[in-house]
Structure 1
Amino acid sequence: MKKKSPSHFDKFTKRKSNAAIKEQFKQEKRKVKKEREEYFDKKKAEARALNKRTPTGPRTPDTESKQSPSSSRQSPVHTRPVVTEQMPLNKFIAHSGLSGRREAAEIVKKGLVKVNNEVVTEPGHKVTATDEIKVNGKKIFLAKNLVYILLNKPKDYITTTDDPQNRKTVLDIIGRATKERVYPVGRLDRNTSGLLLLTNDGELAQKLTHPKNEIKKVYAVTLNKPLEKKDFEQILQGVVLEDGLASVDVLAYADMKDKTQIGVEIHSGRNRIVRRIFEHLGYDVRNLDRVIFAGLTKKNIERGKWRFLTEKEVRDLKHFSKGK
Structure 2
Amino acid sequence: MNKGKGGRKGPANSNSKSKSTRNTRGGKNQIIGTSRTGKPVTKKQYIKRKKNESSSTSDDTKGIRLNKYIANSGICSRREADVFIAAGSVFVNDKPVTEMGYRVQPDDHVKFDGQSITPRRNEYYLLNKPKGFITANKGDKASKTVDDLMRNASGYHLHHVGKLNRTGLGLMIFTTDIKMANKLNNPNLKLKRLYQVTLERSLKHADLLKIREGLIIDGQEIHVNDINYIENGRSNEIGIELSINKESIVKEIFESLDYSVSSMDVVMIHGLTKKDLPRGHYRKLTQQEVINLQMLS
TM-score > 0.5, shorter chain as reference: yes
Residues 101-134 of structure 1, C-alpha deviation per residue, up to 9 Å, x if partnerless? 6xx86x68xx96443739xxxxxxx766639999
Residues 1:152 and 2:128 are matched in the alignment: yes
Going from structure 1 to structure 2, the CA distance change for 1:294 and 1:257 (only over 3 Å counts) comes to closer
The equivalent residue for 1:60 is: none
The equivalent residue for 1:284 is: 260
Identify the structure with the greater helix proportion.
1
Cα drift, residue 143 of structure 1: 3.6
* Counterpart code for 1:275: K
Cα drift, residue 218 of structure 1: 0.3
Q: In 1, are the aligned partners of 2:187 and 2:246 still within 8 Å (CA)?
A: no
Cα drift, residue 303 of structure 1: 0.6
Cα drift, residue 261 of structure 1: 1.1
Residues 1:182 and 2:153 are matched in the alignment: no
Going from structure 1 to structure 2, the CA distance change for 1:138 and 1:190 (only over 3 Å counts) comes to farther
Of 74, 85, 104, which residue of structure 2 is paired with 1:97?
A: 74
Going from structure 1 to structure 2, the CA distance change for 1:139 and 1:303 (only over 3 Å counts) comes to same
Residues 1:195 and 2:166 are matched in the alignment: no
The equivalent residue for 1:311 is: 287
The equivalent residue for 1:115 is: 86
The equivalent residue for 2:104 is: 130
Q: In 2, are the aligned partners of 1:161 and 1:169 still within 8 Å (CA)?
A: no
The equivalent residue for 2:226 is: 250
* Counterpart code for 2:262: R
Residues 1:299 and 2:275 are matched in the alignment: yes
Q: In 1, are the aligned partners of 2:123 and 2:175 still within 8 Å (CA)?
A: yes
Cα drift, residue 311 of structure 1: 2.2
Q: Distance in 2 between matches of 1:154 and 1:201?
A: 24
Cα drift, residue 214 of structure 1: 0.7
Cα drift, residue 84 of structure 1: 5.1
Cα drift, residue 162 of structure 1: 6.2
Q: Distance in 2 between matches of 1:112 and 1:163?
A: 17
Q: In 2, are the aligned partners of 1:115 and 1:134 still within 8 Å (CA)?
A: no
Sequence identity (%): 31
Cα drift, residue 312 of structure 1: 2.5
Decide which structure has the larger Cα Rg and report it: 2
The equivalent residue for 1:271 is: 247
Structure 2 gap segments, 5+ residues each: 1-61, 90-99
Structure 1 gap segments, 5+ residues each: 1-82, 119-125
Q: Distance in 2 between matches of 1:84 and 1:243?
A: 51
Q: Distance in 2 between matches of 1:243 and 1:129?
A: 50
* Counterpart code for 2:132: D
* Counterpart code for 1:97: G
SS at match of 1:213: coil
| TM-score of the two chains, using structure 2 as the length reference | 0.63
The equivalent residue for 2:236 is: 260
Q: In 1, are the aligned partners of 2:225 and 2:243 still within 8 Å (CA)?
A: yes
SS at match of 1:282: coil
Q: In 1, are the aligned partners of 2:195 and 2:265 still within 8 Å (CA)?
A: yes
Cα drift, residue 232 of structure 1: 1.2
Cα drift, residue 92 of structure 1: 7.0
Q: Which moved more, 1:301-310 or 1:256-265?
A: 256-265
Q: Distance in 2 between matches of 1:188 and 1:232?
A: 24
* Counterpart code for 2:272: L
Q: In 1, are the aligned partners of 2:159 and 2:178 still within 8 Å (CA)?
A: no
Going from structure 1 to structure 2, the CA distance change for 1:236 and 1:172 (only over 3 Å counts) comes to same
Aligned residues: 225
Q: Distance in 2 between matches of 1:245 and 1:308?
A: 36
Cα drift, residue 321 of structure 1: 4.8
